[in-house]
Amino acid sequence: MDKLDLVGIGIGPFNLSLAAQLDDVRDVKYAFLEQKAEFAWHPDMMLPGVELQTSFLKDLVTLTNPTSKWSFLSYMVSQKRMLDFMNADFAAVPRREFAAYLKWVADHLGGLVFNNAVREVEFDGNDFQVRSDNGTYVARNLAIGIGKPAFVPGWARHLPVEKCFHTSQAKSRLPDLHGKRVAVIGGGQSGAELVEYLLGGNDGNVEEVLWLSRRDNFEPLDDTPFVNEYFTPGYADIFARLHDSRKQELMSRQKLASDGASLSTLKSIYQLIYRQRYLDEGNVIARLLPQREVFQVQHDGEDFRIAARNGLNQDVEFFHVDALILATGYETALPEFMAPLRPRLEECVSGAYRLDADFRACWDGPADRSIFVQNAGRIDLGIFEPQLSLMAWRSAKIVNALMGQNVFDLDQNRPIVDWVADGTHVADGAVVQAWG
């Protein structure tokens, strides 16, 4: 097998974006490997009516390569429904539509190899040896984009999986909840979508829905223009240069810029509860429980007994349900196939990869051999990194770093927000001391 310039491991949206960008680059050899038989973007979270939380223009390529044949608009034209899509005037694109676009790209783009799990990656001193079910690939560089494993809290790891499951399994498991008391744990978008779905009577009515969250309230995603400046290359470049402690502080304050529920979903939940309370004979099946931190769950063979601390008055409260849905997000972890390289990687505080501004893992190997990692740099690079918002820009940065030249023009206009002053407005140490 010929030596490749790049082997991508995993084919989710982020590595798919990288592959789509590379499709327009000459004289580069690559392959992207995926263990699944075909492309699928969170199929068990595609509930009816769920919407994309970002613009369709933030697709695989458009931000940096708008003439690419792999854009969302190219997909709409190929499906002969561009005008219908425009006339529909969606406030937000249905997530199923965007998933269909991603699969269309994956089905037509070259260089993608499905049904081929990677088992081990080693470095022989010169190149990466990527051992997969279909053989060994030799590559100068890697691009890891396998997604993140579901985060299961410690108190849930002993619970029976047939009655306690993560949102990543939701769609196939929801029909089992008919007539049950259900607790949804987590106040972000995935938790909100599940609460909306259950209150809407889908798959048959549940008896009761409890929505528990550690957050102060059920708060919306902040999608206002100036907050969206966090999701721009100008801010991303500045953030990457900050000290670790400052990064942590900023990310805690920016939580709702990336991790709130959409306003439309919260409105829908409120309206469903209103109808139940005032129009449906007072049949309210929802209990909304913010500021509750679950710390223990017991299962006696019949139901679950949830112990949660109330953040307002510090009381310990108990709730009984028949099933639990964990809307607890995902965690960054080093995949098993990277175990041979673990001693050579510099770990960040998350216990996985430390990344530089070009999305390269910091390691002790040769400077011209890179391990690019996608969706693992939130701590090092900012809140945009796990989101779709800048994936085309990130892919373009990776291509430029891979090729050692500016294949894509990533120069930006001066940001709308002056995040830092230019050199003419920064006081030197003597001036600061004099002003005191």
pLDDT band per the 50, 70, 90 thresholds, residue 425: low
Cite the beta strand spans of 15-134 per DSSP E.
30-33, 112-113, 118-123, 128-132
Q: Which residues contact 120 (CB under 8 A, 6 or more apart)?
A: 131, 337, 339, 340
Q: Which of 185, 25, 42, 7 is nearest to 112 (CA)?
A: 7
User: What number of helices (H) and strands (E) belong to the chain?
Assistant: 13, 15
Quote the pLDDT of residue 256.
85
Total-model pTM: 0.93
At residue 319, what are phi and psi to the nearest 5 degrees? -135, 145
CATH 1.20.840.10 assigned to domain 4-149+334-403? The reply is no
Quote the pLDDT of residue 255.
86
The domain 154-221+259-326 belongs to what CATH superfamily? FAD/NAD(P)-binding domain (3.50.50.60)
Residues 304-356: pLDDT tens digits? 999 999 999 999 999 999 999 999 999 988 999 999 999 999 976 555 789 99
Q: Residue ranges of the domains in the chain?
A: 4-149+334-403, 154-221+259-326
Same topology, domains 4-149+334-403 and 154-221+259-326? Answer is yes
pLDDT (mean) for 207-232: 94
Tell me if 51 sits within 8 A of 95, measured CB to CB.
yes
Q: Which of 297, 306, 330, 299 is nearest to 208 (CA)?
A: 306
pLDDT (mean) for 161-178: 92
Give the residue carrying structure tokens 């939940």.
269
In terms of Cβ atoms closer than 10 Å to its own Cβ (0-12, 13-18, 19+), residue 281 is exposed
Average pLDDT along the chain? 92
pLDDT (mean) for 39-45: 92
Quote the pLDDT of residue 87.
97
Residues 239-263: pLDDT tens digits? 999 998 999 899 889 988 888 899 9
Q: Which of 3-12, 55-64, 148-157, 171-180 has the lowest mean pLDDT?
A: 171-180
Q: Which residues contact 4 (CB under 8 A, 6 or more apart)?
A: 29, 30, 31, 137, 138, 139, 140
Residues 107-131: pLDDT tens digits? 999 999 999 999 999 999 999 999 9
Q: Residue 426: is its pLDDT beyond 60?
A: no
Tell me if 92 sits within 8 A of 262, measured CB to CB.
yes
User: Cα(184)–Cα(196) distance, rounded to whole angstroms?
Assistant: 11
pLDDT (mean) for 8-22: 98
